[in-house]
Amino acid sequence: MNERPLSSAVRPSAALLDTRGRVLRDLRISVTDRCNFRCSYCMPKEVFGKDYAYLPRSALLHFEEITRLARLFAAHGVGKIRLTGGEPLLRKGLEQLIAQLAALRTPAGAPLEVTLTTNGSLLQRKASMLREAGLSRLTVSLDSLDDATFRSMNDVDFPVAQVLDGIAAARNAGFERIKVNMVVKRSTNLDDILPMAEHFRGTGVTLRFIEYMDVGATNGWRMDEVVPSAEVIARLQQRFALTPLEPTAPGETAQRWGYANAQGVHDPALGEVGVISSVTRAFCGSCNRARLSTEGQLYLCLFAHQGWDLRRLLRGGSSDAEISAAIARVWGQRQDRYSELRSQGQGDAAATPTATSVQRRRIEMSYIGG
Ligand code: SAM
Ligand code: SF4
Ligand code: SF4
């Protein structure tokens, strides 16, 4: 994988700022590059077939290595960790990692928020275990309630009922504020927007509509397949009264809308929906997220071409202080703002100004973590 040299000539600090004044707050950790689904927008079957070369086991960061890095990130101000992949629930013993991460503390002594994004296929079996291990919150990806559409979108004929059972199991296990992410593709699941909203409205589950993104290099992305969030909201408003809500946290990716009562006021009992407009309304200006790949490469943007090799430091005997300094230095140099550049029509031409001109192939989302 692409690598960049690291220097340790930087003093760690509690809050890291990049070149655009963005603070590091959120770390996404990919725990596996494998998945039991083949969503065409992420791991199309034609590319991720039987012969696809996944990372060997020895390349994966061990739980102790992940926890050590997470502790150093927490010391730098990261308050939230999201486990992702690939399908994170395929990683054996994941609950042990969750327990280790849940035991970490911020410099102020607060626990980290440890969350997970899953396709939900194994949730029914694992929800209680995840909760007991200390997982704070859950996001489940679900693109349709229509069984035929769902089976064709996951492309492994997986039934929607099992994902819904998984969500129910998570609620029974005590998870609150569950989020459901729906990627909308115009030719595929546009008509599922309203049924999904109907289904989750008033249940305590927050549905979020995600614009189909041009991540990776294999999904054959086309702009005419993107359904702009404004169009999603307009569709919803034909059926429901919605009122815009304030963000709950700086750098929040979703724009929130509350279901309103007859007076046009948000009714918390009806809940809310969100839209994540990565294509039509770039939110790079407040992007506080770093990503750690399955094999320990640090990426500063979902659309990055290059990572920084933290595994080499971990396995090469570097001290905590050295790794911590390396993290600070990498974040301090960060310039990434791919979505902003895309919306200015600059796309990949100026995607990562720090990348070299060789190695321009974008990293797949299943490797870098969604
Ligand atoms: N397998 C897990 C899942 O599906 O939830 C976690 C990893 S997946 C890469 C994380 C999220 O990325 C999912 O919600 C998925 O829908 C989203 N995603 C993947 N490819 C995408 C794309 N091209 N555009 C928008 N979202 C995408
Ligand atoms: Fe797997 Fe998630 Fe990608 Fe679908 S979106 S192929 S479930 S990693
Ligand atoms: Fe952050 Fe990169 Fe997405 Fe912009 S394009 S919001 S910098 S991950």
Ligand 3 site, residue 287, Cβ cutoff 6 A = yes
Average pLDDT for residues 127-139, to the nearest whole number? 98
Q: Helices marked H in 121-262 — which ranges?
A: 123-133, 147-154, 160-172, 186-189, 193-200, 229-239
Question: Could you tell me the distance, in angstroms and rounded to a whole number, from the CA of residue 304 to the centre of ligand 3?
Answer: 9
Angle of CA points 276, 120, 195, to nearest 5°: 55
Ligand 1, atom 1: closest residue by C-alpha: 87
DSSP string, 252-310: -SSEEEEEB-TTS-B-TTT-EEEEE-TTTS--GGG--EEEE-TTSEEESSTT-S--EEH
Q: What is the pLDDT of residue 361?
A: 66
Residue 14 binned pLDDT confidence (cut-offs 50, 70, 90) = low
Q: Which of 365, 366, 367 to mutate to test the pocket of ligand 1 (most atoms within 8 A of CB)?
A: 365
Distances in Å between the Cα of 69 and the Cα atoms of 42, 47, 117, 184, 265 are: 27, 31, 20, 34, 44
CB 311 within 8 A of CB 65: yes
pLDDT tens-digit profile of 169-226?
Answer: 999 999 999 999 999 999 999 999 999 999 999 999 999 999 999 887 777 889 999 9
The 3-state DSSP composition of the chain as helix, strand, coil percent (nearest 5) reads 35, 15, 50
321-343 pLDDT, tens digit per residue, is 999 999 999 999 999 998 888 88
Question: Is pLDDT at 42 greater than 80 in this prediction?
Answer: yes
Nearest CA-CA partner of 232 in 196, 268, 178: 196
Contact 333, 290 (CB under 8 A): no
CB proximity list for 16: less than 8 A, separation 6 or greater: 23, 24, 76, 77, 327, 328, 331, 332
Which atom of ligand 3 is found nearest the CA of 304? 2
For the entire predicted model, the pTM comes to 0.92
CATH of 21-306+336-368, one of 3.40.190.150, 3.40.50.300, 3.40.50.410, 3.20.20.70: 3.20.20.70
pLDDT of residue 347: 57
Domain residue ranges of the chain, discontinuous segments joined by +: 21-306+336-368
